[in-house]
Amino acid sequence: MSNRVKKFDILFVEDEEAIRKNYVQYLKRYFANVYEAEDGQKAYQIYKEKKPHILIVDLNIPKQNGLELLAKIRESDHSVKAIMLTAHTEQKYLLEATSLKLTKYLVKPVNRTSLKNALDLAISELSNFDVVSKEVLILKESYFWDFTTQELLQEDEPILLTNKERKTLSLLFENTNKTLTYEDIIMEVWYENEYEKIDALKTIIKNLRKKLPTDTIQNVFGVGYKVEN
């Protein structure tokens, strides 16, 4: 591995502390940020918060096994690279992983050469497809919002939006987990009085909901709308 990997972040998921600490220490030589988790639930929380570029996940981890964790991540993210660690007796379960886009699976105990080769492959894939430069909000069902181009995409296919739909989505996505009042949105999109455009706003929200995963835009009764992520 060369110095170019220093721009990437990695998450290592392993429930055996001694093994995890050993590999985390090794990975810190090469990666910008190295995160660690001992179970699937904590790993998913770290993934959502930190958005690492590479995952190394042991198949047999508590609370949510490696396959379940990666399947949940793949519902909305097909860019993160995943390396699965498995014992000899667990290899049969990897038949379930055909749709999970594994970069590599490694049989434990894993030697440094095998791990280095797998990481080199993941880094090559990241570099070739240039996935680190995109600024996107990952939604459910393989939907993405690209902040740079102001586009809504599903599986990299753009979804047609009107100008006002685009402005409304941009405002909501820039304020995730925050309730925006009807007035907030109307003044940003129309620059006009709230009461004159409230029906138009409701129509736009109705149309946007048809173009988005279920429950992306939530109604805050009597106040406005919000997007949670």
What is the rounded radius of gyration, in angstroms, for the C-alpha atoms of the chain? 21
Taking the CA atoms of residue 101, residue 104, residue 109 and residue 111 in that order, the dihedral angle to the nearest 10 degrees is: -150
Highest mean pLDDT among 73-77, 173-177, 220-224: 220-224
Residue-range domain boundaries for the chain: 3-132, 137-227
The 8 Å CB, 24+ separation contacts for 206-209 are 207/165, 208/165, 208/168, 208/169
CB 4 within 8 A of CB 127: yes
Count of CB atoms within 10 A of residue 199's CB? 9
Q: Which of 52-66, 119-133, 213-227 shows the lowest mean pLDDT across its residues?
A: 119-133
User: Which one of 3.40.50.2300, 1.10.3860.10, 3.30.70.260, 2.40.50.100 gives the CATH number of domain 3-132?
Assistant: 3.40.50.2300
C-alpha–C-alpha distance, residues 98 and 115, integer Å: 20
Higher pLDDT, 93 or 17: 17
Q: In the prediction, which pLDDT does 107 show?
A: 85
Could you read off the pLDDT of 25-49 as tens digits, one per residue? Answer: 999 888 888 999 999 999 999 998 8
Question: Residue 31's pLDDT is what?
Answer: 87
> Which of 68-77, 79-88, 201-210 has the highest average model confidence (pLDDT)?
201-210
Of the listed ranges 47-56, 73-82, 218-227, the least confidently predicted one is 73-82
Task: Say how many residues make up the chain.
Answer: 229
The per-residue pLDDT for 138 is 80
What confidence score (pLDDT) does residue 97 get?
66
The pTM of this model reads: 0.56
For residue 210 the two structure tokens come to 């048809």
Domain 137-227 adopts which CATH fold? Arc Repressor Mutant, subunit A (1.10.10)
| Rounded Cα distance, 207 and 107, in Å | 49
Amino acid at 97: A
* For residue 133, pLDDT beyond 50: no
Q: Rounded CA gap, 211 and 208, in Å?
A: 5
Three-class SS state of 222: coil
Q: Looking at the predicted structure, is the pLDDT value of residue 3 above 60? A: no
* Residues 200-225: tens digit of each pLDDT: 999 999 999 999 999 999 999 989 99
CA-based nearest residue to 140, from 219, 198, 74: 74
Kindly state the average pLDDT of the residues 136-165: 86
What is the spatial distance between Cα 72 and Cα 225, in angstroms, rounded to a whole number? 26
- The model's pLDDT over 88-125, given as tens digits with 9 standing for 90+, comes to 666 666 666 666 788 888 888 888 888 889 998 888 88
Q: What is the largest CA-CA distance in the chain?
A: 67
